[in-house]
Amino acid sequence: MTTVAERPDVARAEGPRAARSRSDRMGIYLLLLPSLLPIVVLSVFPLLRGIYLGFTDARAGRNVEVSFTGLANYRELLGDELFWNSFKIGLLWAVGVTVLQFVLALGLALLLNQQLRFRGAARVLAVVPWAMPPVVVGILWKLVYHPDAGLLNEFFHRVGADGLRTNWLGDFSTALPAVIIVGVWAGMPQTTVVLLAGLQGVPRELHEAAAVDGAGTWHRFRNVTLPALAPVIVAITSLDFIWNFNSFGLVYVLTAGGPGGKTMLPMLFAYEEAFRYGNYGYAAALGNAMVLIIVALLAVYLRRRLREAN
Amino acid sequence: MFGKPSRTGRTLQYVALTGYLIFLGFPLVWLVSTAFKPPRELVQLHPTLIPANPTVQNFVQAFTEQELGRAALNSLQVSLASAVLTVLVALPASYALARFRTKLGTAALGWVLLSQLFPFVLLIIPIFLILREVGLANTHAGLVLIYVVWALPFALWMLQGFVRNIPRELEEAASVDGASRLQILRQVVFPLLAPGIVATALFSFISAWNEFFFALVLLKTPELATLPVTLARFVGIEGTARLGPLAAGSLLATLPSLIFFAFMQRRLSSGSLAGAVKG
């Protein structure tokens, strides 16, 4: 199985020469040091400390005594209804966005891979949402969903479906779907670009051979394109899932978790725990739980895909 | 790719493409249109897609209203400092990674992938505590440090690719001519690396410019807030007439990344940067 990005440029690194002198090695480490030091101090170390915090009762404030509490945080998590609620919403969001993103992106990539008119315009448009800061994407869609001055409600008015007008982000039943649509819109471009690159790597001869054998469009898609694309699909959907599960800024701007916690993603929940209520230990425990869950879900997904491939 | 499709097939393809263009494009049109609408058109009962009397008033207002102007300056400062520092720090290491294979290099790249898994909550609390201990919490310097570390892994990966594309023979030739290691770097490698350095600087500029979460948590003083944080706060105090300046400010905040993406278009469409800029 190959990875998404083929990097032919990496393949030619110099082999470890048997006799690399000591001063040479010192030189290499000196070159690496300015990069490695900040990564260790401000990325590796904080992460380890963050994992550890999840097993303590750390709270905000100076000179607060921190003690190791073992699994107490996790026992509390298991009984925390708000956490389970947020977790359920997070799963709905992450799976919903990832699946829709993938299906729509695959469709768009297939279209962009054809000789169609307006393909250039579509390619540019397909990348623009990717270039926007997440906060701006949030604001943009707030304008679209705005109950009075919004594009969507105005559209329903113009087509004579005033009954469908609603406060999309403020209504209990529409808030989560509305937010998921925004997630799809924001993340689709990247997935499309990756899938398009994958499609362009599918050998043309395979298609021609299949066509000669009399395979129809659907059969060629099912039996030639999809298998050739499988590694790319597995990689990008896994990454999308991780990114979506950990996403924060978009929903923070759109609903801040509301109405009534209907869009309270786990990241928002953890943010509130940590920086509104100052429960550092509990928030870190939540983070640890999220990592475990993501890893477990990915393991199941990847194993199933691998078995299918064999 | 699928040979010549039937006429109905073609028609269906165009219908689908139109659907995509509407879904992707209309929200953008709406943002631009809102940004150019005068207040009267913003509050009217049934808004129009195209402003009847377009105005740049919103842009002027977004800029002169102290907060957005100051926030843009803050963002500019932080992003520029992050870009310069990232390149300075990444340059030597990327050379070492490209020219010598070390276990350390492999470990660094492994860390990049692994760190994707972990939610920011786990990082942000310890980082916040560390910065507070050294007196850098609630300062631009502290935020810049975080942005450099945050951009570094990808910057390293990107730059070392550029180094690899410089033929080793050039360096060997200079070495035969009696140039020292340092001279080779300064006179042969760095000039050829210029496009790579620009691309890396732009990348780290943009990721700092767009970043929201760390800025939200680390900067408590409103005067220090960056553009995304200030825009997000604007959202809270809406009244329909405020939407105009908000849209205008958002549009301006998007410009740097749009320029960056235009610049990187070719690399993007070839897929070589596909996994690069996190959504």
Q: What is the pLDDT of residues A58-116, one digit of tens each?
A: 888 777 788 888 888 999 888 899 999 999 999 999 999 999 999 999 999 999 888 88
- The alpha carbon of residue B223 is apart from the nearest alpha carbon of chain A, in Å, by 19
Note whether residue A9 is domain-resident: no
Note whether residue A245 is domain-resident: yes
Which chain B residue is nearest to residue A10, measuring alpha carbons?
B161
- The alpha carbon of residue B210 is apart from the nearest alpha carbon of chain A, in Å, by 5
**Model pLDDT, residue A270:** 92
From the list A35, A51, A114, the residue facing B1 with the nearest CB is A114
User: 3-state DSSP call for residue B52?
Assistant: coil
**Model pLDDT, residue B196:** 86
How many angstroms from the chain centroid is the CA of residue B43? 34
Which chain A residue is nearest to residue B119, measuring alpha carbons?
A246
Q: Average pLDDT for residues A282-306, to the nearest whole number?
A: 89
Note whether residue A62 is domain-resident: no
Residues of B in contact with A55 (CB under 8 A): none
CA distances to A267, A282, B65, B98, B233 from B237, rounded to whole Å, are: 24, 31, 14, 50, 7
Please indicate whether residue A144 or residue B270 has the higher confidence score (pLDDT).
A144
The answer to whether residue A128 scores a pLDDT higher than 80 is yes
User: What single-letter amino acid sits at A283?
Assistant: A
User: Mutual orientation of helices A266-275 and B120-133 as an angle, nearest 10°?
Assistant: 20
Peptide bond into A189 cis (omega under 30): no
**Model pLDDT, residue A90:** 93
Residues of A in contact with B275 (CB under 8 A): 4-5, 194, 239
Task: Give the count of Cβ contacts less than 8 A between chain A and B.
Answer: 308
From B199, B204, B10, B269, select the one nearest A196 (Cα to Cα): B269
- The alpha carbon of residue B59 is apart from the nearest alpha carbon of chain A, in Å, by 15
Distance CA(B21)–CA(A108), nearest Å, equals 10
Judge contact between A282 and A73, C-beta under 8 A: yes
B153 vs A: CB within 8 A:
yes
**Model pLDDT, residue B55:** 87
Residues of A in contact with B256 (CB under 8 A): none
Tell me the residue range of the domain where A288 lies: 81-309
Please indicate whether, in this complex, the C-beta atoms of A154 and B278 are within 8 angstroms of each other: no
Note whether residue A68 is domain-resident: no
Task: Give the number of other Cβ atoms within 10 Å of residue A131's Cβ.
Answer: 22
Note whether residue A231 is domain-resident: yes
From the list A144, A284, A290, the residue facing B27 with the nearest CB is A144
Q: Average pLDDT for residues A247-272, to the nearest whole number?
A: 90
Distance CA(B249)–CA(B58), nearest Å, equals 8
Mean pLDDT check: name the lowest of A58-67, A147-156, A255-264, B157-166: A58-67
Which chain B residue is nearest to residue A204, measuring alpha carbons?
B1
Residues of B in contact with A32 (CB under 8 A): 92-93, 96-97, 102, 104-105, 108
User: What single-letter amino acid sits at B268?
Assistant: L
Q: Which residues are paired to A56 by β-bridges?
A: A68
pLDDT band, residue A165 (cuts 50/70/90): confident
Note whether residue A5 is domain-resident: no
Which chain B residue is nearest to residue A203, measuring alpha carbons?
B1
Residues of B in contact with A130 (CB under 8 A): 261, 277, 279
Please indicate whether, in this complex, the C-beta atoms of B20 and A274 are within 8 angstroms of each other: no
pLDDT band, residue A265 (cuts 50/70/90): very high
**Model pLDDT, residue B270:** 45
CA distances to A109, A122, A307, A310, B257 from A229, rounded to whole Å, are: 12, 22, 16, 15, 30
Is B57-269 a domain of CATH 1.10.3720.10? yes
**Model pLDDT, residue B109:** 67
- pTM: predicted TM-score of the whole model, two decimal places: 0.84
**Model pLDDT, residue B237:** 66
Distance CA(A230)–CA(A202), nearest Å, equals 11
3-32 of B, contacting A, C-beta below 8 A = 3, 5, 9, 13-14, 16-17, 20-21, 23-28, 30-31
**Model pLDDT, residue B238:** 58
Which chain B residue is nearest to residue A181, measuring alpha carbons?
B23
Give this complex's ipTM.
Answer: 0.83
From A23, A183, A7, select the one nearest A105 (Cα to Cα): A183
Judge contact between B204 and B87, C-beta under 8 A: yes
**Model pLDDT, residue B5:** 63
User: 3-state DSSP call for residue A56?
Assistant: strand
Q: Average pLDDT for residues A157-170, to the nearest whole number?
A: 84
Residues of B in contact with A54 (CB under 8 A): 122
Note whether residue A258 is domain-resident: yes
* Segments of chain B scoring below 70 in pLDDT: 1-5, 105, 109, 112-113, 236-241, 264-279
Residues of A in contact with B158 (CB under 8 A): none
- The alpha carbon of residue B228 is apart from the nearest alpha carbon of chain A, in Å, by 6
189-248 of B, contacting A, C-beta below 8 A = 209-210, 212-213, 216-217, 228-229, 231-232, 235, 240, 243, 246-247
A121: Cβ contacts below 8 Å, ≥ 6 apart: B21
A265: Cβ contacts below 8 Å, ≥ 6 apart: A86, A89, A90, A93, A247, A248, A251, A257
Distance CA(A137)–CA(B123), nearest Å, equals 25
B197: Cβ contacts below 8 Å, ≥ 6 apart: B87, B91, B159, B162, B190
Give me the number of domains chain A comprises: 1
> Which CATH number fits the domain that encloses residue A284?
1.10.3720.10
35-54 of B, contacting A, C-beta below 8 A = 42-43, 45-47, 49
Strands of chain A, DSSP E? none
**Model pLDDT, residue A4:** 42
Note whether residue A3 is domain-resident: no
**Model pLDDT, residue B278:** 38
Torsion, CA B261, CA B266, CA B272, CA B274, rounded to 10? 40
Please indicate whether, in this complex, the C-beta atoms of B117 and A295 are within 8 angstroms of each other: yes
Distance CA(A196)–CA(A205), nearest Å, equals 18
